[in-house]
Amino acid sequence: MSRALALAKRHVRERTVVIGSSFGGYLASLLAAKDDRIKGLVLMAPAFDFAERFEARYGGHAVRMWEEAGFVEVEHYGMPGMQRLSFDLMRDARTHASRPPLRVPTYILQGRRDDVVSPTMVEEVARANAKAELDLVDDDHGLVASSDRALAAALAMVERVGLEPDPAPRDVASILASLDA
């Protein structure tokens, strides 16, 4: 997590809106809590309470076994086959705020049928943050049926915080290449 946050911070410009889904939404909120260049957030099913939810889902015994082994094999929806997940992720996650303060205007899109990130927990976070606007929809964690709402929210947030389009936007290949640097 810390490495991902450091990498993301290198790519934040003077006035930025950050968009993130699930774990990326949680990371976006952590980044925005400490970086004044971020002026708005669009979060989709943000995975707040990451470490706590992980431990609750799998139990203390499984987490201790993971720690002893140093890694666990998990299925990753975006990558083929089983992937090794280092316990360093949990160790690092425990050092970050479970529910970072949302200090910038924040739109949160959350599915009522989400079985990964609790809609109730996201509602609690939104109620505790005056700058948060929660949009609960009849959708699951992927929010595929609500993608048009996410796009509209992102465009509205850019307008709301008064951002101008980048006069020289980079192509996707150069952005991806810079992430490997």
Domain of 148: which CATH number? 3.40.50.1820
Residue 4 identity (one-letter amino acid): A
The arithmetic mean of pLDDT across residues 118-147, rounded, is 96
Q: Are 42 and 105 within one domain?
A: yes
| Residues 36 and 116 placed together within one structural domain of the fold | yes
Tell which of 97, 115, 135 closes a domain: 97
Q: Say whether both 114 and 60 belong to one domain.
A: no
pLDDT at 135 over 90: yes
Position 179 scores a pLDDT of 65
Question: Which parts of 41-146 fold into alpha helices (H)?
Answer: 50-58, 60-69, 88-93, 119-127
Residue 131 pLDDT > 90: yes
Are 133 and 148 in the same domain?
yes
Question: Could you tell me if 88 and 168 lie in one domain?
Answer: no
Considering the domain architecture, whether residues 126 and 65 belong to the same structural domain is answered as no
Say yes or no: 56 and 135 in one domain: no
For residue 155, count other CB atoms closer than 10 A to its CB: 12
The bridge status of strand 82-86 relative to strand 71-75 is antiparallel
CB-based contact 121:98 (threshold 8 Å): no
Same domain, 117 and 163: yes
Tokens linked to 86: 């280092």
- Which of these three, 97, 112, 131, is where a domain ends? 97
Residues 115 and 158 both lie in one domain: yes
Decide if pLDDT at 172 tops 70. Answer: no
CA distances (Å), origin 51, targets 61, 80, 88, 161: 15, 24, 12, 32
Alpha-helix residue ranges (DSSP H) falling in the chain: 2-10, 23-34, 50-58, 60-69, 88-93, 119-127, 147-160, 172-180
Give the number of domains in the chain: 2
Domain that holds residue 80: 50-97
Task: Tell whether 9 and 55 lie within a shared domain.
Answer: no
Residues 87 and 9 in one domain: no
The whole-angstrom distance between residue 61's C-alpha and the CA centroid of its chain comes to 27
Residue 61, number of CB atoms within 10 A of its CB: 8
Domain ends where: 59, 76, 97?
A: 97
Q: Name the H helices within 84-160.
A: 88-93, 119-127, 147-160
For the stretch 69-122, pLDDT in tens is 999 898 776 678 888 989 999 999 999 999 999 999 999 999 999 999 999 999
Task: Provide the whole-model pTM.
Answer: 0.86
pLDDT single digits (tens) 7-62: 999 989 888 999 999 999 999 999 999 999 999 999 999 999 999 998 898 899 99
Residue 174 has pLDDT above 80, yes or no: no
* Same domain (yes/no): 69, 91: yes
